[in-house]
């Protein structure tokens, strides 16, 4: 019996303990990834708000309502039309924008997670003002880190405990069988681990692989945050300027502040004088913190609020540049905004909802629903060469009433083959006018 115990615990069982632990670990992390908030933002937030009517009706309480009526809300989300066709009571009762909701590619667990998030949603109490679903990086991923830290801690405690039990048993066994030969290996834990690893190479490499992937994934996520990867780069600014308050709530036109976007290469960041046009009068923010930030404008402009006079002691506001092209790239706003008639949203996202100036994400831009504004489906991260190239490959040049393009058409017609290939789809793409030529974008 004793011999059996000691042998059993020695080497053969250890790998299975580890395998079991990792299975538990993996299934735990997989199940906790059903993040209702993220799913909602990905799939539904373009039309729905938890507590406000947008394109779609508010969703809070919808689940309870459907369940009370004995109807199947899952079937609705996956295929609304079918519910109308079947004359389901709850569907007919919505009558908000019939036919306005396309079927959603989500499964029941995901729907549960989404509706749970929606039902538990409360308005954020923060300086963010009227922003709905908070946009941009939050400290969500801090929680993920914490989760992994805890899991790691538990795991190592379990390993140590397992080892302890094993040793205890070993000594107990040895005490009983005094005089029996001592297994040399037992003396050195390091030796034992090494021996175990070489005996279980396959398992060790699988575990190593999983560990490496996990580290790489979270490492990459961290890089996004510090801006080495441009997407969602969101540095701290000398004055906490909030786009959602200015361009959103107060509907100030983008070009009131970025007034060179339509006529020159750069869009420009407004000088403190532009801020003073309003903030000479508007001295209070939406809360105390906002008021303190506005005081920084007064300090920068050298304005004494008490005396209502400029003191002449100004200090420049050192805004941190968020979008930054390398020196070898030529990008021109006027070419895109005025000639190409591309809306800011196509490249910067729905800035009206942003609380800070940040680089928008590809996903965010693809999910925007902006009526009548040209949206190009993107797959490449913003500010990379692939991004420019991809849009130039799909974006049409607006050729309406432009003598410039009439001339080009005339010239193209002299080469029948070329003209045919360009006009094949009845559209002129940026690429076809040279938007893929290196020298157009590179100095
Ligand atoms: C393209 C816009 C759009 C998207 C995306 C969208 N919905 Fe809708 N949704 C609507 C519209 C419009 C209605 C109202 C339909 C009607 O009046 O028949 C609606 C209605 C609903 C209702 C019924 C509400 C009620 O009071 O009975 C639910 C539930 C719902 N949506 C859930 C979702 C979920 C969950 C998602 C994401 C997985 C989603 N929707 C994505 C547009 C959308
Ligand atoms: C009241 C003035 C004001 C208005 C209106 C305004 N902005 Fe800004 N914007 C700023 C200031 C100040 C900054 C620099 C601080 C920051 O990055 O948050 C900025 C930064 C930005 C940036 C990032 C700049 C960089 O450094 O790369 C973008 C992009 C941008 N704004 C786009 C827009 C768009 C699009 C609109 C219209 C929807 C808009 N802004 C409306 C003042 C304004
Ligand atoms: C075709 C894509 C595109 C469109 C459309 C566009 N931008 Fe930009 N924007 C960029 C790029 C790329 C940069 C970075 C430029 C650089 O670093 O040289 C940038 C930079 C900026 C900046 C930082 C300051 C600067 O000029 O470098 C602001 C502010 C800005 N854009 C505002 C706007 C506003 C406002 C609009 C709409 C009127 C707009 N942009 C439309 C791509 C675009
Ligand atoms: C066209 C008018 C206008 C211009 C120009 C303007 N602001 Fe504002 N700003 C407002 C209004 C309106 C509010 C909201 C005040 C409120 O609701 O209490 C505001 C609020 C603020 C706040 C407080 C935000 C908060 O959280 O309460 C700050 C900080 C601010 N502005 C910074 C700036 C800066 C920096 C500039 C120049 C780049 C600028 N503003 C230009 C109109 C303007
Ligand atoms: C959202 C789509 C879009 C994105 C992203 C975009 N462009 Fe463009 N670009 C256009 C359109 C449309 C035109 C054509 C404008 C016109 O009619 O001349 C254009 C024209 C140009 C031209 C002039 C081409 C010519 O033949 O004269 C240059 C240079 C250019 N873009 C550079 C860039 C660079 C650099 C980037 C990336 C940093 C970029 N673009 C990103 C849509 C885009
Ligand atoms: C539509 C605009 C556009 C065109 C056309 C274009 N590029 Fe680029 N290129 C860019 C932008 C923007 C960057 C900077 C993006 C970055 O750093 O990720 C870039 C970066 C580069 C880099 C540096 C890569 C790096 O990792 O820093 C090289 C090399 C390059 N381009 C070569 C070319 C060559 C060769 C061509 C012609 C076949 C070309 N590009 C055509 C926009 C363009």
Q: Can you tell me the distance from the alpha carbon of 61 to that of 67, in angstroms, rounded to the nearest whole number?
A: 10
Same-domain status, 110 and 77: yes
**Best mutation site among 276, 351, 355 for ligand 2, i.e. most ligand atoms within 8 A of its Cβ?**
351
Q: Is the pLDDT of residue 439 over 90?
A: no
Q: Can you tell me the distance from the alpha carbon of 355 to that of 128, in angstroms, rounded to the nearest whole number?
A: 6
Q: Take residue 42 and report the two structure tokens written for it.
A: 């990905």
Same-domain status, 114 and 170: no
Same-domain status, 17 and 55: no
* pLDDT reported for residue 62: 94
Same-domain status, 175 and 113: no
Q: Is the pLDDT of residue 153 over 80?
A: yes
Same-domain status, 204 and 81: no
Q: Is residue 235 part of a domain?
A: no
Same-domain status, 24 and 161: yes
Same-domain status, 116 and 73: yes
Q: Which of 173, 196, 226 is the last residue of a domain?
A: 226
Q: Return the closest-CA partner of residue 110 out of 41, 35, 30, 28.
A: 35
Taking CB atoms within 8 Å and a gap of at least 24, the contacts of 380-388 are 381/229, 381/230, 381/231, 382/230, 382/231, 382/347, 383/230, 383/323, 383/324, 383/325, 383/359, 384/230, 385/441, 387/362, 388/331, 388/441
CA distances from residue 135 to 139, 244, 311 in whole angstroms, order as listed? 12, 11, 39
Q: Take residue 54 and report the two structure tokens written for it.
A: 């947008």
Q: Take residue 371 and report the two structure tokens written for it.
A: 């009526």
Domain count, the chain: 2
Q: Is residue 104 part of a domain?
A: yes
Atom of ligand 3 nearest to the CA of 254: 35
Range in 66-80, 220-234, 239-253 the model is least confident about: 220-234
Q: Is residue 256 part of a domain?
A: no
Q: Is residue 330 part of a domain?
A: no
What average pLDDT does this structure show over 54-65? 88
The pLDDT mean for the chain works out to: 79
Q: Is residue 15 part of a domain?
A: yes
HEC string of the chain? CHHHHHHHHHCCHHHHHHHHHHHHHHHHHHHCCCCHHHHHHHHCCCCCCCCCCCCCCCCCCHHHHHHHCCCCHHHHHHCHHHHHHCCCHHHHHHCCCCCCCCCCCCCHHHHHHHHHHHHHCCCCCCCCCCCCCCCCCCCHHHHHHHHHHHHHHHHHHHHHHHHHHHHHHHHHHHHHCCCCCCCHHHHCHHHHHHHHHHHCHHHHHHHHHHHHHHHHHHHHHHHHHHCCCCCCCCCCCCCCCCHHHHHHHCCCCHHHHCCCCCCCCCCCCCCHHHHHHHHCCCCCCCCHHHHHHHHHHHHHHCEECCCCEECCCCCCCCCCCCCCCCCCECCCHHHHHHHCCCCHHHHHCCHHHCCCCCCCCHHHHHCCCCCCCCCCCCCCCCCCHHHHHHHHHHCECCCCCCHHHHHHHHHHHCCHHHHHHHHCCCCCECHHHCCCCHHHHEC
Q: Specify which residues 310 forms β-bridges with.
A: 303
Q: Which of 189, 211, 226 is the last residue of a domain?
A: 226
* pLDDT reported for residue 357: 78
Confidence (pTM):
0.62
What average pLDDT does this structure show over 293-306? 92
Same-domain status, 153 and 218: yes
Same-domain status, 158 and 25: yes
Q: Is the CB of 347 under 6 A from ligand 5?
A: yes
**What percent of the chain lies above the pLDDT cut of 70?**
77
Q: Is residue 406 part of a domain?
A: no
CA atoms within 13 A on the CB side of 207: 16
**CA 72, 74, 76 angle in degrees (round to 5)?**
75
CA–centroid distance, residue 357 to ligand 2 (Å): 6
Q: Is residue 70 part of a domain?
A: yes
**Best mutation site among 385, 394, 430, 437 for ligand 6, i.e. most ligand atoms within 8 A of its Cβ?**
385
Q: Which residues line ligand 2 (CB under 6 A)?
A: 237, 241, 243, 246-247, 252, 254, 256-258, 269-270, 319, 321-323, 344, 348, 351-352, 356-357
Q: Is residue 184 part of a domain?
A: yes
Cβ(261)–Cβ(268) under 8 Å?
yes
* pLDDT reported for residue 192: 81
Residue span of the structural domain in which 97 resides: 36-120
> Could you report the per-residue pLDDT of 183-211, keeping only the tens digit for each?
554 557 778 888 888 888 888 888 888 88
Same-domain status, 11 and 54: no
Q: Which of 120, 153, 178 is the last residue of a domain?
A: 120
Identify the CATH number of the domain in which residue 48 sits: 1.10.760.10
Range in 15-19, 274-278, 311-315 the model is least confident about: 15-19
Ligand having the closest approach to the CA of 331: 5
Q: Which residues line ligand 6 (CB under 6 A)?
A: 325-326, 329, 384-385, 388-389, 392, 435-438, 440-442
> Could you report the per-residue pLDDT of 379-399, keeping only the tens digit for each?
888 888 889 988 888 877 765
Same-domain status, 15 and 161: yes
Same-domain status, 99 and 51: yes
């Amino acid at each position: 019996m004793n011999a059996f115990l000691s042998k059993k615990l020695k080497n053969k069982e250890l790998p299975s303990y580890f395998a079991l632990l990792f299975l538990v670990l993996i299934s735990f992390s997989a199940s906790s990834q059903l993040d209702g908030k993220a799913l909602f933002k990905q799939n539904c937030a373009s039309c729905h708000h938890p507590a406000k009517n947008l394109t779609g009706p508010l969703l809070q309480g919808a689940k309870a309502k459907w369940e009370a009526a004995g109807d199947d809300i899952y079937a609705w989300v996956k295929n609304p039309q079918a519910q109308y066709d079947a004359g389901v009571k709850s569907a007919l009762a919505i009558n908000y924008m019939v036919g306005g909701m396309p079927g959603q590619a989500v499964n029941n667990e995901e729907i549960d997670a989404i509706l749970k998030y929606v039902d538990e949603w409360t308005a954020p109490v923060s300086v963010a003002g009227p922003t709905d679903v908070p946009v941009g990086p939050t400290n969500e991923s801090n929680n993920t880190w914490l989760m992994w830290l805890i899991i790691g801690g538990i795991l190592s405690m379990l390993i140590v405990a397992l080892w302890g039990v094993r040793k205890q048993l070993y000594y107990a066994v040895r005490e009983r069988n005094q005089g029996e030969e001592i297994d040399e290996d037992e003396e050195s834990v390091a030796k034992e681990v090494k021996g175990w690893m070489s005996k279980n190479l396959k398992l060790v490499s699988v575990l190593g692989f999983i560990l490496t992937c996990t580290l790489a994934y979270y490492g990459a996520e961290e890089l996004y945050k510090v801006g080495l990867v441009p997407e969602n780069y969101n540095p701290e600014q000398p004055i906490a300027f909030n786009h959602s308050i200015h361009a959103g709530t107060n509907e100030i036109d983008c070009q009131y502040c970025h007034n060179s976007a339509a006529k020159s290469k750069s869009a420009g960041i407004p000088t403190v004088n532009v801020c003073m046009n309003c903030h000479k009068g508007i001295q209070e923010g939406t809360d105390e913190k906002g008021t303190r930030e506005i005081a920084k404008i007064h300090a920068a402009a050298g304005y004494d609020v008490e005396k209502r006079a400029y003191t002449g002691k100004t200090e420049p506001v050192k805004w941190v540049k968020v979008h930054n092209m390398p020196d070898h790239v030529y990008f021109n706003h006027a070419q895109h905004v005025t000639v190409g008639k591309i809306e800011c949203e196509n490249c910067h996202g729905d800035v009206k909802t942003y609380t800070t100036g940040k680089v928008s994400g590809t996903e965010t831009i693809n999910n925007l629903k902006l009526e009548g504004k040209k949206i190009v489906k993107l797959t490449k991260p913003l500010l990379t060469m692939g991004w420019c190239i991809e849009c130039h490959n799909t974006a049409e040049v607006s050729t309406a009433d432009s003598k410039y393009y009439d001339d080009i058409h005339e010239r193209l017609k002299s080469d029948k083959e070329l003209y045919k290939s360009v006009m094949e789809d009845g559209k002129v793409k940026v690429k076809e006018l040279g938007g893929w030529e290196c020298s157009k974008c590179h100095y």
